[in-house]
């Protein structure tokens, strides 16, 4: 994870400077873009390991840039914004972001959230199994794709890790803390609302592809796969 390239996109020079200094102190490389157009133009050239996007910069804004990047890459995307409304969180996730940070944020938490995203794309141990199956669903651990029948379902890294956890032990009920640890890695990952939003997005993607409603909420506990995949 050391020397990983981070692309920070923000129209505020002070914010870019804070992010750059905070991450460089942790051993990351940082490149900056002053707006969304510049970020999209340099994305292929820079090939960042993580993208940090300001939500409310001028057009194209963070939502638009996130959606454009998602058309060509599953690189982890962290949204950075001064707003903290639940609607913003849901809209960020709907656009394809993996995480959401409200300004102001400490240098320590910023580095932690970046490290969390990087850990998911640099597993320490190669998986012995290549695929997980449950009913009509097949999760390819190599390509990180979900296949339902002939449909290939695009998943964010967070969605993939969430579904993978459930499919590895389909009879087990996972607590919210266990899921957050698996997909976020720390107590700073997000609120219960954020976790519920990930679960809802997964349900919608699976159902849209013709799959069953397999992700069940267990009241006051967490989540599990449904007993049947019909």
The pLDDT value recorded for residue 86 is 57
State how far the alpha carbon of 173 is from the alpha carbons of 111, 146, 177, in Å: 31, 21, 12
Q: What are phi and psi of 217, to 5 degrees?
A: -85, 135
Q: Domain-by-domain residue ranges, the chain?
A: 5-121, 131-225
Query: Of 58, 44, 41, 48, which Cα lies nearest the Cα of 8?
Result: 48
The pLDDT tens digits of the residues spanning 139-160 come to 988 788 899 988 999 888 888 8
Q: How much is the pLDDT for 163?
A: 92
* Residue 32, pLDDT above cutoff 90: yes
Higher-confidence position of 74 and 20: 20
User: Which of 190, 142, 125, 132 is CA-nearest to residue 163?
Assistant: 132
Quick one: tokens of 20?
């750059």
Q: What are the pLDDT digits (tens) for 176-197? A: 888 887 776 544 444 567 788 8
Judge whether 147 and 81 are in contact, CB under 8 Å. Answer: no
The rounded percent of the chain whose pLDDT value lies above 70 is 86
Say whether domain 131-225 belongs to CATH 1.10.10.10: yes
pLDDT (mean) for 107-119: 85
Res. 3: pLDDT tops 60: yes
**Which tens digit of pLDDT belongs to each residue from 60-89?**
988 899 989 988 888 999 998 876 555 567
More confident residue, 191 or 33: 33
- Predicted confidence at residue 188, as pLDDT, reads 44
Q: What does the alpha-carbon distance between residue 203 and residue 70 come to, in Å, rounded to a whole number?
A: 19
> Quick one: pLDDT at residue 94?
75
Quick one: pLDDT at residue 127?
42
Topology classification of domain 5-121? Rossmann fold (3.40.50)
Which residue from 3, 68, 211 is spatially nearest to 77, judged by alpha carbons? Answer: 68
Only one residue has tokens 């133009």, namely: 41
CA 30 distance to own-chain centroid: 20
Question: pLDDT tens digit string along 194-220?
Answer: 788 889 999 999 999 999 889 999 988
First to last CA, the chain: 41
pTM: 0.58
């Amino acid at each position: 994870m050391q020397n990983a390239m981070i692309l920070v996109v923000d129209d505020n020079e002070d914010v870019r400077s804070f992010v750059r200094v905070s991450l460089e102190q942790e051993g990351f490389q940082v490149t900056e873009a002053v707006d969304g157009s510049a970020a999209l133009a340099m994305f292929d050239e820079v090939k960042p390991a993580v993208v940090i996007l300001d939500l409310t910069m001028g057009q194209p804004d963070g939502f638009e840039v996130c959606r454009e990047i998602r058309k060509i890459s599953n690189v982890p995307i962290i949204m950075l914004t001064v707003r903290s409304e639940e609607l913003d969180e849901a809209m960020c996730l709907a656009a394809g972001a993996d995480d959401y940070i409200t300004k102001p944020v400490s240098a320590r938490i910023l580095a932690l959230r970046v490290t969390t995203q990087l850990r998911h794309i640099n597993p320490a141990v190669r998986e012995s199994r290549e695929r997980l199956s449950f009913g009509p669903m097949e999760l390819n651990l190599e390509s990180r794709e979900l296949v339902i029948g002939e449909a290939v379902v695009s998943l964010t890294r967070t969605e993939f890790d969430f579904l993978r956890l459930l499919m590895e032990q389909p009879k087990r009920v996972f607590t919210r803390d266990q899921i957050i640890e698996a997909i976020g890695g720390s107590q700073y990952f997000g609120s219960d609302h954020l976790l519920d939003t990930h679960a809802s997005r997964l349900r919608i993607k699976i159902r849209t592809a013709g799959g069953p409603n397999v992700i069940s909420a267990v009241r006051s506990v967490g989540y599990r796969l449904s007993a049947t995949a019909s």
